[in-house]
Amino acid sequence: MLHSVLGIGFVVAALVNVLRGWRQDLVEARRRLRAVILVLSGSYSIVIMAVELVLHGQSPSADLLLLNAVLLAALLFGLACGVLDVSSSVRSAFGWTPPSRTSPVEPAEVLARDRDQELVARLQDLMTHNAAYRDPGIGVASLATRLGVTEKKLREVINGRLEFKNFSAYVNAFRLEEVRRRLLDPRHDAAPILTMALEAGFGSIVAFNRAFKGKYGVTPTVYRTQRHAELALTNNDKLPGESGAVDTPAQHPHEPSSLHGAAARGLQHPHR
């Protein structure tokens, strides 16, 4: 009995993790694959645990073993079909290539691109000027509601035009940029890093530290220390009689291109 309960717990935890990733994923093909995994794995696990509870520790019959083999084969087949649907490289390996365009671009397609450009502009304005990213509970659904579009459309724009594969990565990029700028600003030297992270929209210091180091290669504390060291070195190198200090040092070697640049690329190079 305890074995079955533990098994149910592990299965539920795994399925919840798949579901959580499904909500954050912006790639439609991967979302479909996650849905396939969720349905097939969940169904198979429920059947297996139900049989174990009915047997009460007895050995399964040959018929049940055969049924289990058939279900497992069906599960693997379904997952394989999902992977084949997601992986363009696999499709190419089998000789399938998407058909090339043989007709001129329709007016409806041009209109759709114009609408996408307008949506990108409104989205970036909402995130940069209204600081929507500071809301710790922001999600695709709430952001789509504020923009007056469907969740699917918003995912397509963030993924296809701004080239983010995960919604959290998109939102955290704005949050990290705000904290980075404050770390470089001497006026915020006395502000605790935790306060900066929470005010930028992060839910915990652990999540913030992990995201910051993943993007800039160092922890926030080290980043701030490096800025202090660069500032001191700059001041020490000044000639006699010079005054003033540099407020913002040179760009950090790990700093990526700005989000505004990504938005501009999305506006200038719509997907064909």
Per residue in 179-223, pLDDT (tens digit) is: 999 999 989 999 999 999 999 999 999 999 999 999 999 999 999
d(CA 248, CA 179) in angstroms, rounded, equals 14
Per-residue pLDDT at 99 exceeds 70: no
Angle between helices 167-184 and 205-216 (to 10 degrees): 80
Residue 57, Ramachandran bin (φ over 0: left; ψ between -120 and 50: alpha; else beta):
left
The DSSP letter of residue 8 is: H
91 is written with which tokens?
A: 């499709």
CA-based torsion, 51, 52, 53, 57: positive or negative: positive
What is the pTM for the complete model shown?
A: 0.58
Annotate 49-74 with b (16+ C-beta within 10 A) or e (fewer): beebeeeeeeeeeeeeeeeeeeeeee
Per residue in 43-86, pLDDT (tens digit) is: 777 777 777 777 776 777 787 778 778 777 877 776 676 655 54
Residue ranges covered by each domain of the chain: 2-89, 107-237+248-272
Given the candidates 1.10.10.60, 3.30.460.80, 3.40.50.2300, 3.40.50.450, the CATH classification of the domain at 107-237+248-272 is 1.10.10.60
Q: What percent of the chain has pLDDT over 70?
A: 59
In sequence order, the 6+-apart residues with CB closer than 8 A to the CB of 83 are 33, 90
Query: 246, 217 in Cβ contact below 8 A?
Result: no
Which of 91-95, 145-149, 158-162, 226-230 has the lowest average pLDDT? 91-95
Query: 71, 79 in Cβ contact below 8 A?
Result: no
In sequence order, the 6+-apart residues with CB closer than 8 A to the CB of 17 are none
| C-alpha dihedral, 244 to 245 to 251 to 254, nearest 10° | 180
d(CA 157, CA 140) in angstroms, rounded, equals 12
Q: What is the pLDDT of residue 269?
A: 45
- Confidence label for 109 from pLDDT (cuts 50, 70 and 90): very low
Q: What percent of the chain has pLDDT over 90?
A: 32
